Amino acid sequence: MIGEAEQSVTITGLGCHVPDRVVTNDELAQYVDTSDEWIMERTGIRERRMASKEEALSDVALPAARAALAQAGVDGKDVDLLIVATVTPDMAFPSTAAIMADKLGATEAAAYDLSAGCTGFVYAVAQAYGMVAGGLSKKALVIGGDLLSRILDWEDRSTLVLFGDGAGAVVLEAAGEPGFLGFELGADGAGGENLWLPGSGSRIFDQPDRYVKMNGREVFKFATRVLVKSAEDVLARCGVSVEDVDVYVPHQANVRIIDHASKKLGFPSEKVVVNVDRYGNTSSGSIPLALADAVADGRLRKGQLVLMTGMGAGLTWGSALMRWSI
């Protein structure tokens, strides 16, 4: 799916939150046969956050949502659409979005979860764009977040070291001037078994698994391909060149994947947001956390063009191009 935005819809608030507990590479090396050196060299990850036993996704996402609403100047009761992009909801049902709506006093909101792996945030933002552009929603709250630590196998070094917990939220509203310029979204179900959680739903497996299973090399190849293609496609569709983009926010999975995509696309490193070293791969939280970092370090300012591209389980990918307006 690809398209230029026809209506002026933008982000009016952004918030993020990560759990307090910092887990270093050295700490993980106590559980699996790995080392800080290997993890740094192959992934660029130095540490990640992990939720406590008492915290569920809605607890980690709540401060992010509150911060986004505060920046937008929107009350919970005025939110009419609440989407939570996640693969680690509090539970299968009620949806984490419904739980969040209750916590935020968003009694007038349609609320549901969306599952698109690490691309979930971009999918949810595109969907909220459509609802606001179509007049169905006036104030949409999109949350992207995951507690992947809950579904990691603490005996599998090939996945344990990669992921972390975190969440981000944005408010979308109609605007006087263009915010979103276009989107490109896609999925390749044929590659689904390269990153999956078999045994987590209605399909019966002989050996059900509660943990993430991943073919890292295949996902790596997929990631380097789609990050480039999706970005090129949305830029071409919107008539924007790479040079025009001020800030590039790729999914934070592995610094080698980010470097590959940035070089291939032609982004100089000062335009590329990288925080995978501090948070690991936070799945649906990755892009909003990176946006918040770019705002905090002064790189992402009002009026600048920002390109976000996610990729993940499904396999899925998605890009959003927008003019930042806060």
Positions marked active-site: 118, 251, 281
Minimum CB separation of residue 284 from ligand UT7 in Å reads 10
**38 contacts 170 by C-beta, under 8 angstroms:** no
Q: How far apart are CA 208 and CA 226, in angstroms?
A: 30
- In the complex with ligand UT7, the residue whose CB is nearer, 59 or 146, is 146
Is beta strand 195-196 parallel, antiparallel or unpaired with respect to 213-214? antiparallel
Q: How far apart are CA 12 and CA 160, in angstroms?
A: 35
- In the complex with ligand UT7, the residue whose CB is nearer, 94 or 216, is 216
**35 contacts 208 by C-beta, under 8 angstroms:** no
Minimum CB separation of residue 144 from ligand UT7 in Å reads 13
Q: Which two tokens stand for residue 106?
A: 């968003």
Q: Which residues of 187-205 are buried (b: 16+ CB within 10 A; e: fewer)?
A: beeebeebbbbbebeeeee
**251 contacts 287 by C-beta, under 8 angstroms:** yes
Residue 31 DSSP code? T
Minimum CB separation of residue 180 from ligand UT7 in Å reads 23
- In the complex with ligand UT7, the residue whose CB is nearer, 3 or 216, is 216
Chain positions contacting ligand UT7, by CB under 6 A? 34, 38-39, 42-43, 118, 157-158, 161, 195, 214, 216-217, 219-220, 223, 253-254, 281, 312
Instruction: Count CB-CB contacts under 10 A for residue 238.
Output: 22
Minimum CB separation of residue 133 from ligand UT7 in Å reads 28
Q: What is the four-CA torsion angle of 198, 167, 124, 82, rounded to 10 degrees? A: 110
Minimum CB separation of residue 222 from ligand UT7 in Å reads 8
Q: Which of 174, 149, 1, 145 is nearest to 74 (CA)?
A: 174
Minimum CB separation of residue 257 from ligand UT7 in Å reads 6
Q: What is the four-CA torsion angle of 225, 230, 235, 238, rounded to 10 degrees? A: 160
Q: Nearest-CB residue to ligand UT7?
A: 216
3-state secondary structure (DSSP) of residue 57? helix
Residue whose pair of structure tokens reads 């073919």 in the numeric block: 215
Angle at 188 between CA 268 and CA 137, to 5 degrees: 80
Amino acid found at 211: Y
- In the complex with ligand UT7, the residue whose CB is nearer, 174 or 255, is 255
Query: Residue 232: what are its φ and ψ, rounded to 5°?
Result: -60, -40
**284 contacts 120 by C-beta, under 8 angstroms:** yes
Minimum CB separation of residue 85 from ligand UT7 in Å reads 13
